[in-house]
Amino acid sequence: MSKLAPLAGTVIAATGAAHFVTPQAFASINQAAFPQNTAEWIKRNGATEVALGLGLVSRRTRKLAAVGLVAYTAFLGSRVAANRKG
């Protein structure tokens, strides 16, 4: 796990940074969870993913980042589910 977490964190942080470089690539994904203010949510989600990813890289912050990642995933899932119901 000690080598996997930093690698996963780097990938998550890079994906978060990509939200700022090519936001259009994340528009349809974000629109499912955030139909209003999608462009703003793309930035928020990108920043969240950068922070959580970097948190996984450092051993000191790894546990907190892992908890944050679980909470973030649950939040996104709940948003998608809520918007499917209408």
Band (86; pLDDT cuts 50, 70, 90): low
Q: What is the pLDDT of residue 22?
A: 98
Q: What is the pLDDT of residue 2?
A: 73
**First CA to last CA distance, the chain:** 40
Q: What is the pLDDT of residue 85?
A: 77
Q: What is the pLDDT of residue 55?
A: 98
Q: What is the pLDDT of residue 33?
A: 96
Domain range for residue 71? 4-85
For the chain, what is the domain count?
1
- Rounded CA-CA distance 28/76 in Å is 14
Task: Summarize pLDDT for 3-54 with one digit per residue, the tens.
Answer: 899 999 999 999 999 999 999 999 999 999 999 999 999 999 999 999 999 9
